[in-house]
Amino acid sequence: MMSPPVKHGLTIVHTGNGKGKSTAAFGMVLRAWGRGFRICVIQFLKSETGKWGEVLAAQKLGIEWHISGDGFTWTSKDMDATIARAQLGWDLAQEKIVSGQYDLIVLDEFTYPLAFGWLDTAEVLAWLRQNKPAALHLVITGRNAPPALLDYADLVSESREIKHPFQQGLKAQPGIEF
| pLDDT for res 41 | 98
11-15 vs 155-158, strand pairing mode: parallel
The residue that leads in pLDDT, 126 or 178, is 126
Residue range 108-131: average pLDDT?
96
Residue range 157-163: average pLDDT?
93
Q: How far apart are CA 106 and CA 27, in angstroms?
A: 11
Query: pLDDT at residue 2 above 60?
Result: no
Structural domains for the chain:
11-159 (3.40.50.300)
Angle at 97 between CA 94 and CA 101, to 5 degrees: 135
pLDDT averaged over every residue in the chain: 90
pLDDT-based confidence at 153, cuts 50/70/90?
very high
Q: How far apart are CA 62 and CA 174, in angstroms?
A: 21
Residue among 160, 165, 163 at smallest CA distance from 15 = 160
Q: For the segment 15-72, what is each residue's pLDDT rounded down to a tens digit? A: 999 999 999 999 999 999 999 999 999 999 877 767 788 999 999 999 999 998 776 6
The residue that leads in pLDDT, 167 or 151, is 151
Query: pLDDT at residue 166 above 90?
Result: no
| pLDDT for res 72 | 63
